Structure 1
Amino acid sequence: MSDIISLDVYYLLYYFFAIFVAFFAVPTGAMIMIVSFASIATGLTDLALLGTLAFVATVSGDYSAYLVAKYFKVRFDGYINRIMWLKSKIHLVSKVFQKYGGYTVFLTRFALSGLGPYVNLFSGLRDLPKKLFLQAVMSGEIIYVSMFIFVGYFFSETWQAVVLIVKDYTMFAVLIGLGIVITTRLTKFLLKERII
Structure 2
Amino acid sequence: MTEIILDLITNYGVIILLVVTFLSCLCLPVPSSLMMLAGGSFAATGDLNLASTLAAAYFGAVAGDNTGYFLARTFGTRLNTWLEANPKRAKLRDIAKSYMDKKGPISVFLSCWLVAPLGPYVNLVSGLTRYNWAKFALWGALGEVVWVGIYIGLGYSFSNQITTLASMLGNASGFIVALLGVFLLGRWLWKASGSKAQPQH
The two structures share one fold, judged by TM-score above 0.5: yes
Question: SS of the residue aligned with 2:130?
Answer: coil
Where does structure 2 lack aligned partners over 5 or more consecutive residues? 1-8, 84-92, 167-201
Instruction: Tell me what 1:144 maps to.
Output: 147
Q: Is the 8 A contact 1:35 1:149 kept in 2?
A: yes
Q: Is the 8 A contact 2:14 2:52 kept in 1?
A: no
Q: Structure 1 95/128 Cα, relative in aligned 2: closer, same or farther at 3 Å? A: closer
Map 1:42-191 onto structure 2 (within 5 A): 42-43=45-46, 46-77=49-80, 97=100, 100-159=103-162
Name the larger-Rg structure.
Answer: 1
Instruction: Tell me what 1:37 maps to.
Output: 39
Question: SS of the residue aligned with 2:49?
Answer: helix
Indicate yes or no: 2:23 matched with 1:21.
Answer: yes
Report the alpha carbon displacement of residue 23 of structure 1 after superposing the two structures with TM.
0.6
Q: Structure 1 150/162 Cα, relative in aligned 2: closer, same or farther at 3 Å? A: closer
Q: Is the 8 A contact 2:41 2:160 kept in 1?
A: yes
Q: Structure 1 77/28 Cα, relative in aligned 2: closer, same or farther at 3 Å? A: farther
Instruction: Tell me what 1:179 maps to.
Output: none
Whole-Å separation in 2 of the counterparts to 1:114 and 1:160:
19
Where does structure 1 lack aligned partners over 5 or more consecutive residues? 1-5, 81-89, 164-196
Whole-Å separation in 2 of the counterparts to 1:64 and 1:156:
32
Provide, for residues 128-187 of structure 1, a one-character-per-residue CA deviation record: whole Å limited to 9, x for no partner: 111101110111100110000111011111226778xxxxxxxxxxxxxxxxxxxxxxxx
Instruction: Give the TM-score taking structure 2 as reference length.
Output: 0.63
RMSD: 3.1
Report the alpha carbon displacement of residue 79 of structure 1 after superposing the two structures with TM.
8.7
Number of aligned positions between the proteins: 149
Runs of 4+ in 1 over 6 A off after TM superposition: 90-96
* AA partner of residue 55 (structure 1): Y
* AA partner of residue 152 (structure 1): G
* AA partner of residue 139 (structure 1): L
Whole-Å separation in 2 of the counterparts to 1:70 and 1:91:
15
Whole-Å separation in 2 of the counterparts to 1:79 and 1:37:
43
Whole-Å separation in 1 of the counterparts to 2:15 and 2:58:
14
Question: SS of the residue aligned with 2:154?
Answer: helix
Instruction: Give the TM-score taking structure 1 as reference length.
Output: 0.65
Q: Structure 1 47/26 Cα, relative in aligned 2: closer, same or farther at 3 Å? A: same
